[in-house]
Structure 1
Amino acid sequence: MPPEQDLSFAAAFARGLLDPARSAPAIVAGPNGKAAGKRYAVYRNNVTMSLISALAAIYPAVQRITGPDFFRAMARFHIRSSPPTSPLLFEYGREFADFIARYEYAQTMPWLADVARIERAWLDAYHARDAAPLSPAGLAAVATERLADLVFIPHPALRIVRSSFSAVTVFAANRDSAPVARIDASTPEDALITRPELDVIVRRLPPGGAVFAERLASGEPLGGAAASALDACPDFDLAFNITGLIEAGAFTSLVLGDAR
């Protein structure tokens, strides 16, 4: 079969895989040219189930919160609206959190989308490039008068997820099989996701910490990032926050702002 016909067949075959309303493509046939509608339907179901399983593996806390039946139904709708664009299954589902935020039957769980965002960030941190984290000694060696000009180079695994709900608490409570007590999810929480060595770590950032970490990760010098954090949160504790970020492995190195 010429390459152009190969592509034409593949496109026609794939077109209906995620749409149960479509009949089997006319070019799909069984032995002796017989219709292959049933065979195609079985294959289509297997593709859908594989994608649902991939989403369940990426978002285990979301599935535990909703229950398997609710999760499978929600995942089916997402799969039909956002088919995969990469052959790598761990890359699938990047839009799932946004879909959850719009999904009619998830509106009673307004924090669920942010839990999904933390889970996606966890997976991305897990697959991020390895890098040695910055040691506390690196900051201690900088002269006091140059601290405000310091630029922090973010670790490849660094992720920050901000939430108007207690998404970090809900995430942590649902990532294993231990019983979950009732959680008041109304308190805003921001998540810091890092992987300084082999294990991904999710921490709840202190007040002003998300603004501070985001500004540093974007390349803003320490002085400007601290000022932005103080504007957002008058109780921002600079020493506590910078110590926590370094201990978490959020950065790999330091440069002076005028030396970049």
Structure 2
Amino acid sequence: MNSQREFVAALLDPERDCPAQLTTWNGSDPAVRFAVYRNNVLSSLVDALAASFPVVQQLLGEAFFRAMAALYVRQSPPRTRILAEYGADFADFIEAFAPASSLPYLADVARLERLRVRAYHAADVAPLASETLTAALAAPDRLRDLLLQLQPALGLLDSSFAVVSLWAAHQGSLQIADVDPHQAQSALVLRNGLQVEVIGIHQSDSLFIQALQAGLTLGHAAEQAHALNDAFDLGTCLAHLLRAGAITHSAYNHQRQLP
């Protein structure tokens, strides 16, 4: 076990010597072979981060991004063999990374991109049939007690910055010169088929959806959203979630699930 820890430590720290117990089958210098292996591991993990955070890389430039990502890799090596899960706390690292402080929105852009990765790999759950929800909404006396379950692929981000517009600009949907990065935005991230969508929503809509995710009834979730914004439109928000296939189950509080 000590030799394994020594190997991992040396693999991620270029200042450490090659582990003394390493040998090669053909008699070549173990230190040279280990240096190649160390470089390949580091490069592969940086590549994985670049694939998960392409807009962050575009905002920083490739050279800056790869230098920053290499520091992250050495500080936070993978804890699972599933590379799609790597970088879960990369946004927190960026937020504390002083050389990137001139881009205060960068960490939230990373959080948005992490939500996209999570959405893409989330479990598949069939959406609720529209007629089922329509039938439930047709009983206004029971509407307050309705519970809605949402797709596991759905994610939300409330940011002090224009993360949706920044992301869209790097997809060619907006001109980056037209984006005010300091405008607060809320993002809804979900998967529709195999396509991951990033949608700008009102903060009250975000609060409503978060309340549903927390298990609150439709009535209580709507009350919270209305308290934040009198203009919150429950019907429009529900229609959008239904069209996106974001609602998977419905039930009345403390009673059986609707068919």
Question: What is the TM-score of this pair, normalised by structure 1?
Answer: 0.91
CA deviations 1:16-53 (Å, max 9, x no partner) are 11111111111113357775222211111110000000
Q: Tell which deviates more after alignment, 134-143 or 104-113.
A: 134-143
For 1:146 and 1:161, the matched residues in 2 are separated by: 31
Q: In structure 2, do the counterparts of structure 1 residues 58 and 146 end up closer, same or farther at CA, with 3 Å as the change threshold?
A: same
- Given the alignment, which residue of 119, 133, 139 partners 2:133? 139
- For 1:150, which of 126, 146, 149 is the aligned residue? 146
Aligned-residue offset at 1:194: 1.1
2:104 match: secondary structure: coil
Q: 1:182 Cα deviation (Å)?
A: 4.4
Instruction: Please list every run of 5 or more consecutive structure 2 residues that lacks an aligned counterpart in the other structure.
Output: none
Q: Which runs of 4+ in 1 moved over 6 A?
A: none
Q: Which residue of 2 aligns with 1:200?
A: 196
Worse-matched range after superposition: 91-100 or 137-146: 137-146
How far off its partner does 1:130 sit? 1.1
Q: CA deviation at 1:181?
A: 3.1
**What is the CA distance between 1:150 and its match in structure 2?**
0.7
Q: What letter is aligned with 1:227?
A: E
* Residues 78-89 of structure 1: pairs in structure 2 closer than 5 A: 78-89=72-83
**CA offset at residue 139 of structure 1?**
2.1
Give SS of 1:141's match. Answer: helix
Unaligned runs of 5+ in 1: 1-6
Question: 1:87-114: per-residue Cα shift (whole Å, max 9, x none)?
Answer: 1111111110111111111111111111
CA contact (8 A) 1:131 1:196 kept: no
* 2:127–2:245 CA contact under 8 A, matched in 1: yes
Number of residue pairs matched?
254
1:188, distance to aligned residue in structure 2 (A):
0.9
Q: State the secondary structure of the residue aligned to 1:252.
A: strand
Structure 1 residues 58 and 32, CA, compared in 2 at 3 Å: closer, same or farther?
A: closer
Shift, 1:170, TM fit: 0.6
Partner of 1:220: 216
Pick from 111, 114, 117 the counterpart of residue 120 of structure 1.
114
**Deviation, structure 1 residue 144:** 1.1
Q: Give yes or no for the alignment of 1:94 onto 2:60.
A: no
Q: 2:253 aligns with which of 250, 254, 257?
A: 257
For the residues of structure 2 that align with 1:49 and 1:159, how far apart are their CA atoms?
30
Q: Which amino acid aligns with 1:51?
A: L
The match for 2:7 is 13
Q: Where does 1:27-42 land on structure 2 (aligned, <5 Å)?
A: 27-30=21-24, 35-42=29-36
Provide the residue aligned with 1:57 in structure 2: 51
The share of aligned pairs that are identical, in percent, is 42
Report the secondary structure of 1:162's partner residue.
strand
Distance 2:174 2:20 in 1: 51
